[in-house]
Amino acid sequence: MDFKKILEIIGFGFIVWLIPTIVTYFASDAGSVQLYDFTASVAIGGSAVVLSYIYFKDITSHFVREGVILAIVWVLITIVLDVVLIYLGISKTSLIEYAVTIVPLYVIIPAITIGFGLYLDQMVANVSIYEG
Amino acid sequence: MGGKVNKNLKLVLFGFLVWLIPFLVSFVVFPLKETMRPLFESIMPLVLTVTVIVLAYYYLKDLDADFAKEGIIAGVVWFIISIIIDLALFLPASPMQMSFADYIMDIGLTYVMIPVITTGMGYLAQNL
């Protein structure tokens, strides 16, 4: 794996964390639990879809493996950065509250990246069958 | 002609499934909404996401061209189907009744995920 690709995966992981963090910061200011729940899941899912698309459009093989790598790296980055914010006191939640309320939402990330990997794998296989 | 009817039928049927599967799961996990709300709120978008990815794959894999356009159309149609069926269930007087504003904030806006995912998948297939 070349350095540029590693940088891209890590950079995209940072953005996958940054967008929901900014969006939910403003949503939590509004004081509505419902609005927070909606914005958190849609912001995580939306940013994962867009960045997965940008990443996968330059990939030509091993889509499932790439999806698994994206899932592991992006979930790790988001959790590590969240925990840093909690330790610095910037995020007002406790670690336990964070583990119970926020972390389960991040399951959407592997669902999208691995799902897209499986999807591309099947689509390429279908194209090969038609062309072969 | 027959192919187009089949395609449209499949589009509407899959739209119904995109609504039905998360709805059935929400019935099963509904007790969690009172006891473990965050877990409930995590399960539902996940179920919706997985359902849309699987059905969008089965919809797009039989197409020959215009994947991006078809992805956008599928997303918008499935989004509308889900909202219409939900509103028919949640607005009239029933144990599930809620106001339109509450419905949009609590459930409806989560469906925005549907066109986002199908559009992404359509454009990915277009690039192959």
Residue B94: the pLDDT is 78
Per-residue model confidence (pLDDT) at position A14: 96
Contacts for A58 with CB less than 8 Å, ≥ 6 apart: none
For residue B98, report the phi and psi dihedrals to the nearest 5 degrees. Answer: -150, 160
Q: Is residue A113 scored above 60 in pLDDT? A: yes
Q: Could you tell me the CA-to-CA distances from B10 to A91, A107, A127, B107, B109 in Å, in that order?
A: 46, 29, 21, 25, 24
Q: Is B45 on the interface with A (CB under 8 A)?
A: yes
Q: How confident is the model at residue A30 (pLDDT cuts 50, 70, 90)?
A: low
CA dihedral B111, B116, B119, B123 (to 10 degrees): -160
Beta strands in chain A (DSSP E): none
Number of domains into which chain B is organized: 1
Structural domain of residue B39, as residue ranges? 2-127
Task: Tell me which residue in B36, B53, B110 faces A38 most closely, judged by beta carbons.
Answer: B110
B1 pLDDT higher than 60: no
C-alpha B53/C-alpha A127 separation (Å) is 19
- What share of chain B has pLDDT > 70, as a percent? 96
Q: How confident is the model at residue B68 (pLDDT cuts 50, 70, 90)?
A: very high
Report whether pLDDT(A132) > 60: no
Burial of A31 (0-12, 13-18, 19+ CB in 10 A): exposed
**Per-residue pLDDT tens for B101-126?**
888 877 888 899 999 999 999 998 88
pLDDT above 90 covers what percent of chain B? 52
CA distance B53 to B114: 9
Radius of gyration of chain B from its Cα atoms, rounded to whole angstroms: 16
Q: Are A122 and B61 within 8 A, CB to CB?
A: yes
Q: What is the pLDDT of residue A40?
A: 83
Judge whether residue A31 has pLDDT over 90.
no
Q: Can you give the pLDDT at residue B128?
A: 76
Here the tokens at position A110 are 């592997």
* Chain A CB contacts of B124 below 8 Å: 53, 56-57, 116, 119-120, 123
pLDDT in tens, A1-19: 688 889 999 999 999 999 9
Asked if B124 has any chain A CB less than 8 Å from its own CB, the reply is yes
- How many Cβ atoms are within 10 Å of A32's Cβ, its own excluded? 14
The residue ranking higher by pLDDT, B20 or A90, is B20
pLDDT in tens, A35-85: 777 788 889 999 999 999 999 988 888 999 999 999 999 999 999 999 999
Mean pLDDT of all residues in B83-100: 86
> Does residue A120 surpass a pLDDT of 60?
yes
pLDDT computed for residue B2 by the predictor: 60
**B110/A41 CB distance under 8 A:** yes
d(CA A83, CA B125): 36
Q: Which of residues 82-121 of A touch B (CB under 8 A)?
A: 100-102, 104-105, 107-108, 111-112, 115-116, 118-120
Tell me, what's the pLDDT at A89?
86
pLDDT at residue B97, rounded to an integer: 80
Greater confidence (A71 vs B64) lies with: A71
ipTM over 0.90: no
Q: What's the half-sphere exposure (Cβ side, CA atoms, 13 Å) at B106?
A: 15
pLDDT on residue B32? 80
Residue B99: predicted pLDDT: 83
Q: State the CB neighbour count (10 A cutoff) for residue A127.
A: 13
Q: What's the one-letter identity of residue B30?
A: F
